[in-house]
Amino acid sequence: MPKKRSEKNRYLQIIEAMGEGVLLISRKHRIALANTSAETMLGMNKTVEGKRLEEIFSNGTLLEYVDAVFADGERKMFRISSYHDAIGEDAVVRGKGREKQYEFCITLLDDKYAVAMFSDVTMLERLEVVRQDFISNVSHELKTPLTAIAGFAETLAEESLTEEERKGFARIIQKNALHMQRIIADLLLLTSLDRSEIAPTMERTTDTRILQEVKAYTQYKASTKDIEVIYTSSDEAILCSESLVVQALINLVINAVSYSPQKSKVSVSTKRKGEMLEFIVSDRGYGIAEEDIPRIFERFYRVDKARSREDGGTGLGLSIVRHIAIIHKGTIKAESVLGEGSVFTLSLPVS
């Protein structure tokens, strides 16, 4: 019956074209059919068919679910994770040390076969963890100043305060409110930078103009610690989003000042390197331990929480710098020696 055969072929083609992995499993756990997606996800090519499930999934959960589907005929949905879930050389290499998460749905076809559809949700699961961490970090960072505001406002409401005390409490409330405003402004900036489809408006400017702006915004902070910041520029032309680059350098300079002792020295200079222009911010401050360097660009990461918080830091500054580097197709690099100082290099294409 040619018509029937072509119909069967069409179904096989559809199964083959699916992004999800599809396995046809017999009651005795033998794999009667596997599509290419299934084989790719398991890290094998054309070797799965005919094998038993036990040979491929070391994780017993899957077998239990298959047996349960044959026993009660009800569809089962679940997630499994495993390290060495696949056979074959390729699979062993790819699976090594890397946990994979699969989302499975197993349905009974008839009394002989069940069909398992699965997809690799490793990435989704990781994003979910990142999202949860992010939310709990934000809540925590906002909770601290908010608790102070609520507490001092309550005290203010009491009448038995001297004028001096009343002013003092109002100032604390104001300081904490400003801190919350800054966190929110930073988060909004990060979110807008995250949407990389919105390219920043690029304009022609020079390193001299950029450094002038940076100086204007940071000199007050530097003066409070009696720190001299030396700016050296050479009128190099650059096509960039000036306001974002200024923002990135402000963050670097404020860090250099914050994490250095009183009367220390900070320098900001530029250097042309081929098609790139490097902005170099160096300090002779406390420095950063080697193991912390890869982490300081993460959101909310602070090496010394106590010291950073004294300064009202949230740990968002460097992740903003990193984002600004990325959307300009540039890079940010940190070098540091504990107790001696740090050098941050923001490298941006000139055009």
Ligand X SMILES: Nc1ncnc2c1ncn2[C@@H]1O[C@H](COP(=O)(O)OP(=O)(O)OP(=O)(O)O)[C@@H](O)[C@H]1O
User: Footprint of ligand X on this chain (CB under 6 A)?
Assistant: 251, 255-256, 259, 283, 285-288, 296, 301-304, 308, 313-318, 342
* Identity of the residue, 44 or 245, whose beta carbon is nearer to ligand X in the bound complex: 245
**Contacts with Mg ion, 310-329, as mask; x by CB under 5 A:** -------x------------
- Which partner, ligand X, Mg ion, none, binds residue 342 by CB below 5 to 8 Å per kind? ligand X
Binding-residue total with Mg ion (CB under 5 A): 2
Closest CB 318 distance from Mg ion, rounded Å = 6
285 binds Mg ion (CB under 5 A): no
* Identity of the residue, 112 or 307, whose beta carbon is nearer to ligand X in the bound complex: 307
Closest CB 323 distance from ligand X, rounded Å = 11
- Which partner, Mg ion, ligand X, none, binds residue 256 by CB below 5 to 8 Å per kind? ligand X
Quote the CA–CA distance of 265 and 257 in Å, as a whole number: 8
73-82 long-range CB contacts below 8 Å, 24 or more apart?
Answer: 73/108, 74/108, 75/105, 75/106, 75/107, 75/108, 76/104, 76/105, 76/106, 77/103, 77/104, 77/105, 77/106, 78/103, 78/104, 79/103, 79/104, 79/121, 80/104, 82/57, 82/58
- Which partner, ligand X, Mg ion, none, binds residue 247 by CB below 5 to 8 Å per kind? none
- Which partner, ligand X, Mg ion, none, binds residue 330 by CB below 5 to 8 Å per kind? none
Residue nearest to ligand X (CB): 317
Quote the CA–CA distance of 277 and 346 in Å, as a whole number: 8
- Which partner, ligand X, Mg ion, none, binds residue 205 by CB below 5 to 8 Å per kind? none
Q: How far does the chain reach from its first CA to its final CA, in angstroms?
A: 66
Sheet holding 331-337, edge to edge: 228-232, 265-273, 276-283, 341-349, 331-337
- Which partner, Mg ion, ligand X, none, binds residue 288 by CB below 5 to 8 Å per kind? ligand X
* Identity of the residue, 255 or 282, whose beta carbon is nearer to Mg ion in the bound complex: 255
Closest of 198, 2, 194, 25 to residue 109, by C-alpha: 25
- Which partner, Mg ion, ligand X, none, binds residue 114 by CB below 5 to 8 Å per kind? none
Closest of 328, 329, 330, 302 to residue 317, by C-alpha: 302
Closest of 194, 274, 187, 199 to residue 241, by C-alpha: 199
Closest CB 316 distance from ligand X, rounded Å = 4
Bridge partner residues of 331 (DSSP): 347
Indicate the residue type of 136: S
**Contacts with Mg ion, 220-259, as mask; x by CB under 5 A:** -----------------------------------x----
* Identity of the residue, 227 or 238, whose beta carbon is nearer to Mg ion in the bound complex: 227
Residue 160: other Cβ atoms inside 10 A: 5
Please answer whether residues 299 and 319 qualify as being in contact, where contact means their C-beta atoms are separated by less than 8 angstroms. yes
* Identity of the residue, 152 or 286, whose beta carbon is nearer to ligand X in the bound complex: 286
Chain residues in the site for Mg ion (CB under 5 A): 255, 317
